[in-house]
Amino acid sequence: MLMRTDPFRELDRLTQAVFGANGTRSHSAILPMDAYRQNGQFIVHFDLPGVDPSSIEINVERNVLTVKAERKPAYGEDIELQANERPRGTFSRQLFLSDSLDTGRVEASYDAGVLTLHIPVAEKAKARKIEITTGGEPKVIETA
């Protein structure tokens, strides 16, 4: 599912994870995920605790899937902040999808702080059995 990635983009992402967007140390600015293939689809889970589901954007352009989300502070402006460790701001992650996935049928759900994407494997990429003929004319195998 995942194809090559731009090493400079990854370096920028890791730099922001360590130093934050404004140069100060951040505990976790990356968007952690798990991805696996199961039953003819690719499934991706993103951890987005405390994110309002209405702030989540998912876009697919060509074979690049982009997830963006925003986590705002849970407190107002007239406070005396004692600790500031929870990451907030805009989070973004891009996945480079192979041609074997059906990007037109991506499904998304959000539950208990986890965004889950289901990306079906394209019919043309699914394994199929090839019949073998004996003693006669070769059989034409249709492909999609």
16, pLDDT greater than 70: no
Residue 68, beta-bridge partner list: 57, 92
User: How far lies 53's CA from each of 56, 114, 115, 117, in Å?
Assistant: 5, 10, 9, 14
Rounded Cα distance between 102 and 107, Å, is 11
What's residue 26's pLDDT? Answer: 41
The amino acid present at 10, given as its one-letter code, is E
| In this structure, CATH architecture of domain 7-125 | Sandwich (2.60)
- Stretch (H or E) spanning 18: helix 7-19
Q: Which residue has the tokens 């073998």?
A: 132
| pTM assigned to the model | 0.67
Query: Chain-wide mean pLDDT for the chain?
Result: 81
Sorted by where each begins, the domain ranges of the chain are 7-125
User: How far lies 141's CA from each of 122, 125, 137, 144, in Å?
Assistant: 19, 15, 12, 10
What's residue 28's pLDDT? Answer: 39
The amino acid present at 120, given as its one-letter code, is P
What's residue 24's pLDDT? Answer: 44
- pLDDT, one tens digit per residue, over 42-57 is 999 999 998 999 999 9
